Structure 1
Amino acid sequence: MIKIKIISSKETYSVRQPVLRAGKPIESCLFDGDDLETTKHFGLYFDENLVGVVSVFENKSNNFHDEYQMQIRGMAVLEEYQKKGLGNFLINQTEEYAKFQNASLLWFNARETAVAFYEKLNYTIIGSAFEIQNIGIHYVMYKHL
């Protein structure tokens, strides 16, 4: 059974660390803005186990002119649960939440390895590839809601 719940930023660490910060200290899982009142963290549970997370921030990118934008950060599904459609559930939840908040655009920095996943969900790359130090090559991707 699959369930999505709002969770705390600290609860995201058990998925963020092995997927997004492998080999790095647990403190590297704390993102700027994680604990703002306007930030929401969603946890995807499969048979009562937390296996996926995504965080949504109120954050405006200069790449876009939309007045109210939201940024996705920390999207991760544990490796053994990937390629089962669970990431789609998380992104769909994020989009519904952003629409409910009246955001007109979702954007994020996608790892090079995740671009194809997001393209299947109708997200588009804007600009050129860039490197986030100690993390890897990324692209800014977005979708109008």
Structure 2
Amino acid sequence: MNIIKEIPSKETYIVRQPVLRNGKPIESCIFEGDDLDTTHHFGLFDQDKLIGIISLFSQTNPIFAEKNQAQIRGMAVLESHQKKGFGDALVKHCENYCIENGIDLIWFNARTAAVGFYQKLNYKIIGAPFDIKDVGEHYLMSKKL
């Protein structure tokens, strides 16, 4: 049975590193703001094994007019568990959390390879692609809740 629950930031590293920072030191898995009281990390467990993660930051992007915004960062599912609906479940969990907490817009920087995944969940691309140093090409994406 799969369960999504809130986890400490340090627990995200075992999924962040192989999926998002492969070949890079564990320190590269630490994101600014990870340990703020307003940041929430959710882990998806399959029979007690952490297989997917997503982090939700209380971060406003001035491009958007909405006052109550949240940024998704570090969404990752272990490669052996990808394409099985776990990523969808993590994103929907964040959306429900945001709705329950009065957030009206989610935004994030999506890797080019993940754009199609997010578009299926009704996220829209905003603007042109841009490069994040040492990580690669990304697109700004958002969804009003």
Which position in structure 2 is the counterpart of 1:64? 64
**C-alpha distance in 2 between matches for 1:100 and 1:40:** 14
Quick check: 1:93 aligned with 2:120? no
CA offset at residue 63 of structure 1? 1.4
What is the CA–CA distance in structure 1 between the aligned matches of 2:125 and 2:67, rounded to whole Å? 20
1:63-85 deviation line (CA, Å, top 9, x unaligned): 10101100000000000000000
CA distance in 1, matches of 2:101, 2:57: 11
Letter in 1 for 2:42: F
Shift of 1:55: 0.2
Amino acid at match of 1:31: F
Alignment of 1:1-145 (within 5 A): 1-145=1-145
Give the superposed CA RMSD: 0.5
Tell me the distance in 1 between the aligned counterparts of 2:56 and 2:134: 23
CA distance in structure 1 between the partners assigned to 2:134 and 2:33 by the alignment: 20
Query: Where in structure 1 do 4 or more consecutive aligned residues deviate above 2 Å?
Result: none
TM-score (norm 2): 0.99
Counting aligned pairs with the same residue, the percent is: 57
One-letter amino acid matched to 1:12: T
Shift of 1:39: 0.4
Question: What whole-Å deviation, never above 9, does each CA across 1:105-124 have from its counterpart, x for those lacking one?
Answer: 00000000000000000000
Partners in 1 of 2:48 and 2:111 — Cα distance? 28
What is the CA-CA distance between 1:62 and the residue it aligns to?
A: 1.5
**TM-score of the pair, normalised by structure 1:** 0.99
SS in 1 for 2:5: strand
C-alpha distance in 2, partners of 1:100/1:51? 25
CA distance in 1, matches of 2:102, 2:132: 30
Distance 2:139 2:16 in 1: 19
CA distance in 2, matches of 1:53, 1:63: 26
Amino acid at match of 1:77: V
SS at match of 1:99: helix
Alpha-carbon shift at residue 101 of structure 1 (Å): 1.3
**Structure 1: segments with no counterpart, 5+ residues:** none
**Aligned pairs, how many?**
145
